[in-house]
Amino acid sequence: MITDLQAQINSYLKDHIQSECDEPTLATSTAYSLLAGGKRLRPALTLAVCKIFNQEINQDVLRAACAVELLHTYSLIHDDLPAMDNDDLRRGLPTNHRRFGAGMATLAGDGLLTLAFQWLSDSGLSNDIKLSLVKELSFAAGPTGMVAGQAMDIHNEGYRLELDQLKVLHQKKTGALLRYSVLAGGIISRQYATVNDLLAHFGELYGLAFQIYDDLMDVLGTEQEMGKAVHKDQGEHKNTYPGLLGIAETKHQLALALQGAQNVQHQLAEQTSCDFELLDEFLAYFK
């Protein structure tokens, strides 16, 4: 089921990205990172929630859902830059700046971030839905959300954080965008505020699980499995769950986050009388 959604997302992105860039190198550099694969987790979450509420997945819904993947890809390109994490490898390929230079990589990121708001605002969805998506995404991704998380990450490199601080950092850096992705499905499907609040809460717990799992894999995984450099966080004295809590307690925290997400999932099913099993596939990913 997720694979069906991923295929729809990949096809939409592939068909629409080149025509959105007016300069050839910029177009190549942008498509290079956007079409390099990846799980398409964020737009897939939006579309899965839409499907649960029997919202038809037409071209307008796809465009709005794919906007968050544009934004996510920008964050990866900028995060990899020499001035930030200085990574050489992403999804098994040279990072954007290794291939096109740091200037063009900066611009590809800037373009994708801006294009995300264009796609949210120029589809055939109703104005109220589009504006609500723009507002939520700008909060999630901006200087009180994702960008603040990135700044905390840079600023605290080499300093040991408390667990509470690490949770805030991850909530902003990774959680805010995943929370948005789940919530966006409710907004597009015109759900009541109480339902959207539950969706947002599910997204928060899902985001927490995601980050704990990512930290774990960085310790336990191999470079080949992950398609990027691993054991990197440790080497650079970055703050991670295993670093603060050890492997066993980190696994316990992951189980708690997943249990919390499942509880919210049950509440959603009760409140809406819809079948939320589709989200099981997303949770199974971490097991």
Using CB under 8 A as the binding rule, whether residue 231 contacts its own copies is answered as no
| 1 Cβ contact list (under 8 Å, min separation 6) | 48, 278, 281
Nearer to its own copies, 146 or 278 (CB): 146
Near its own copies by CB under 8 A: residue from 3, 56, 103, 159:
103
Q: Are 193 and 175 in contact (CB under 8 A)?
A: no
14 contributes a contact to its own copies by CB under 8 A? no
Which of 6, 8, 10, 30 is the binder for its own copies (CB under 8 A)?
Answer: 30
Q: What's 160-183 look like in SS3? A: CCCHHHHHHHHHHHHHHHHHHHHH
CA dihedral 10, 16, 20, 25 (to 10 degrees): 60
Residue 246, interface with its own copies (CB under 8 A)?
no
Asked if residue 175 binds its own copies (CB under 8 A), the reply is no
- Nearer Cβ to its own copies (86/267): 86
Please report whether residue 150 would count as binding its own copies according to CB under 8 A. Answer: yes
SS3 93: strand
Q: Does 102 bind its own copies (CB under 8 A)?
A: yes
Q: Is 36 in the site for its own copies (CB under 8 A)?
A: no
What does the alpha-carbon distance between residue 3 and residue 6 come to, in Å, rounded to a whole number? 5
Q: Is residue 66 near its own copies by the rule CB under 8 A?
A: no
122 binds its own copies, rule: CB under 8 A = yes
What contacts 138, CB < 8 A, 6 or more positions away? 117
Determine, following the binding rule CB under 8 A, whether residue 237 of this chain makes contact with its own copies. no
Q: Which stretch binds its own copies (CB under 8 A): 8-16, 19-27, 42-50, 225-233?
A: 19-27
Based on the shown chain and the rule CB under 8 A, indicate whether residue 255 belongs to the binding site for its own copies: no
**Residue whose tokens read 């997204």:** 203
| One of 41, 141, 216, 261 touching its own copies (CB under 8 A) | 141
**Torsion angle (degrees, nearest 10) of CA 16, 18, 19, 22:** 150
**Neighbouring C-beta atoms of residue 194, cutoff 10 Å:** 10
Kindly tell me which of 30 and 250 has the beta carbon lying closer to its own copies. 30
**Contact (Cβ atoms closer than 8 angstroms) between residue 68 and residue 49:** no
Binding site for its own copies (CB under 8 A): 20-23, 25-27, 30, 74, 78, 81-84, 97, 101-107, 109-115, 117-118, 120-122, 127-128, 130-131, 134-135, 137-139, 141-145, 147-148, 150-152, 154-155, 172
